[in-house]
Amino acid sequence: MELRGKVALITGGGTGLGREIALQLAGEGMDIGINYSKSHQEAEETVAELEKLGVKAQTFQANVGNTAEIRSMVERVDQSFGRLDLLVNNAGTTRFIPFQDLESVDEEAWDEIFAVNTRSAFFAAKAAVPLMRRNGGGQIINTSSIAGLAPGGSSLPYATSKAALIHLTRCLAVALAPDIQVNTVAPGFLATRWSAGFQPAQHRANVERALLQRFTDLADTAAAFTMLAKNSSITGQVITVDAGLVNRT
C-alpha cells in the first residue's frame, strides 16, 4: 500500500516508540499528526525532525483518557490535514506496583490505566472511522504489550489493560471490515523513558530471560508498524516484537 501523501495520527507520538514510528512513517512520505498530553517540548522537537524529511507535521495536545478531548483532537486533525488514513493508538500509562501488592491498586489507578490504555483506543477509533471512510478506508494499529499476552510488566492493571486492548483489536477488526484494517503490535522490554521506572535488577532479568539476550530494539519495533501500514492483507492480528522475552515469561 502506498503511504506517500497519506496522513497518520500517532497518540503519544512525541517520545519513545511513538517518535520512532513517526520518523519511519515520515520516511515513507506520510504526513504526521503528533499527539501529546504533557510532553510539549518533545512533541515540537519531533515535528521539527519530521519536517526535515519533507512531510507536513503538526502537534495536537489532548489527554486521550478524556473522550471529549479525543473527539476534539480528531476534528483538529481533519481541519489541518483534510484526511486521516492511519491511526496509531500508542499512548499509554502505568503504575509500578508488584503483582502481589493488591492493596496498592486503588480505583483511581485502575480507572486511569484502563482509560488511557484501552478505552482511548476505542473512542479514538470511533472518531477516526468516518474520516477514513470518506477516503475509502484506512488502518488502525494499537500498541499493546507482551504483558497482555502473559502475566508480567509494571503492574496487574497494566497487564490486564493490554490484554483487553489485544481483544479490542480483534473485535474492531470484525466491526470495521472490510474497508478498515485493525492490528496491534506487542513490544517487549524497550530501553526508553518508560523503562526507567523499573529497577536495574529488573532490567537485567528481562534481558537475561529474552531468547536473544537483549532489549527489544526500538527501530525494529517501529518497523512492525510500518510493515502493517503498508500491508493490505493483515487484520485482527498481534505482531510480537520482543527479542523472545514472552517465551520465557
Bridge partners of 6, per DSSP, are none
Contacts of 195 (CB under 8 A, 6+ apart): 189, 203
Of 209, 97, 228, 210, give the one whose Cα is nearest residue 160: 97
For the chain, which residues score pLDDT lower than 70? 192-203, 206, 248-249
Q: What is the pLDDT of residue 128?
A: 98
Residue 150 lies in a domain: yes
Angle at which helices 156-176 and 107-114 cross, to 10°: 30
Residue 165 lies in a domain: yes
Q: What is the pLDDT of residue 213?
A: 87
Question: Total domain count for the chain?
Answer: 1
Bridge partners of 234, per DSSP, are none
What global pTM score does this model have?
0.94
Q: What is the pLDDT of residue 190?
A: 81
Residue 86 lies in a domain: yes
Contacts of 135 (CB under 8 A, 6+ apart): 83, 85
Give the domain extent around 170: 7-248
CA 198 vs CA 93, 96, 136, 203: distances in Å? 14, 8, 43, 7
Q: What is the pLDDT of residue 247?
A: 79
Q: What is the pLDDT of residue 209?
A: 77
Contacts 24+ apart (CB under 8 A), 166-172: 166/238, 168/118, 168/121, 168/122, 168/142, 169/142, 169/144, 169/236, 169/238, 170/236, 172/122, 172/125, 172/140
Residue 2 lies in a domain: no
Q: What is the pLDDT of residue 196?
A: 58
Q: What is the pLDDT of residue 248?
A: 61
Residue 202 lies in a domain: yes
Which residues are catalytic, by number? 158
Residue 15 lies in a domain: yes
Q: What is the pLDDT of residue 153?
A: 85
Residue 38 lies in a domain: yes
Q: How many CA atoms lie within 13 A of 196 on its CB side?
A: 4
Residue 1 lies in a domain: no
Domain at 217, CATH number? 3.40.50.720
